[in-house]
């Protein structure tokens, strides 16, 4: 695995320096060892950082999605 290839070997698309970074997507998981899987990999490939939260295990949820591009809720 290289620095620019996250696990799974998929590279994020190149981002033009004049393009602002995308807002993160909140991903809500409910199991201690859950991962965002294929959906998370696809979002990363599209240039979205992930903000993974597990509220059942004490992670707070954001009060609003103003700082986020969207949310994915599993379970």
Distance CA 47, CA 50 (A): 10
Give per-residue pLDDT as tens, 1-35.
233 334 444 455 566 677 889 999 999 999 999 99
pLDDT at 17: 74
Which tokens belong to 72? 């994915």
Which tens digit of pLDDT belongs to each residue from 44-71?
A: 999 999 999 999 999 999 999 999 999 9
- The pLDDT assigned to 15 comes to 60
CA 39, 42, 43, 44 torsion-angle sign = positive
Q: How is residue 5 written in tokens? A: 């290839």
């Amino acid at each position: 695995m290289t620095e620019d290839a996250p696990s799974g070997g998929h590279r994020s698309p190149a981002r033009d320096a004049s393009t602002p970074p995308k807002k993160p997507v909140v991903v809500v998981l409910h199991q201690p060892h859950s991962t965002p899987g294929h959906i998370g990999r696809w979002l990363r490939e599209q240039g979205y950082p992930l903000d993974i939260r597990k509220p059942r295990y004490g992670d707070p949820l954001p009060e609003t999605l103003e700082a986020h591009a969207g949310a994915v809720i599993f379970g």
